[in-house]
Amino acid sequence: MTLSFFDQFMSPTYLGIPLIAVALTLPWILFPTPSARWLNNRLITLQGWFINRFTQQLLLPLNLGGHKWAVMLTSLMLFLISLNMLGLLPYTFTPTTQLSLNMGLAVPLWLATVIIGMRNQPTAALGHLLPEGTPVPLIPVLIIIETISLFIRPLALGVRLTANLTAGHLLIQLIATAAFVLLPMMPTVAVLTSIVLFLLTLLEIAVAMIQAYVFVLLLSLYLQENV
């Protein structure tokens, strides 16, 4: 029983072919295609409003140099939200519960922000490793600590997204199993457990959107330090 709880996080295969590629491609197919008409349907209008509002909030603290990242950060946000939300449907696989995928997204983007900072303003980028007014004896120790914290950033990005989604999926499966087992023995308790399951599902929908937003927001903050 314990092992079966974690089977949902295994990458599914069909005829030896990993289906994670299908799971990564599907969200892009579901997005409605914008048209050149002045008036669109409600779905496309809502999508455009959401993208505009999110892009404005995301680029608010960035200068003009960081606005070049608007398309990539907004696309990443929509992509992560779609993957997280589709993973809450029954009989689906959530690719963002795989640490390898999240690290594959976090490390290149974090490294790009660091390279941009080193290329455009190397003095300011290296200045983050040593706070102003540091006593001389503490300089070597603080440089080591700040360097370690700099390299931990992509790991924190990937682990945060993986841990939150994995914990939510496990809680949903545990409570659903408890409700199913208690139904023939204690129907009242099973109904209460089902109510808790429904509330937890609503919470997981919020977590799926919030974690995608936090992932992109932290990337924009890293970019702000280097542009």
Mean pLDDT by 10 residues, the chain (227 residues): 61 74 78 70 81 85 82 89 87 84 92 89 79 78 86 92 89 88 88 92 92 91 84
| Per-residue burial over 155-164, b = 16 or more CB atoms within 10 Å of its CB, e = otherwise | eebbebbbeb
The pLDDT, as a whole number, for residue 160 is 92
Q: Tell me if 107 sits within 8 A of 154, measured CB to CB.
A: yes
Rounded (5°) CA angle 16-25-86: 100
Give this prediction's pTM.
0.83
The pLDDT, as a whole number, for residue 1 is 45
The pLDDT, as a whole number, for residue 195 is 92
The pLDDT, as a whole number, for residue 56 is 86
- How far, in Å, CA of 72 to CA of 39, rounded? 26
Q: Tell me if 220 sits within 8 A of 76, measured CB to CB.
A: no
The pLDDT, as a whole number, for residue 161 is 92
3-class SS at 101? helix
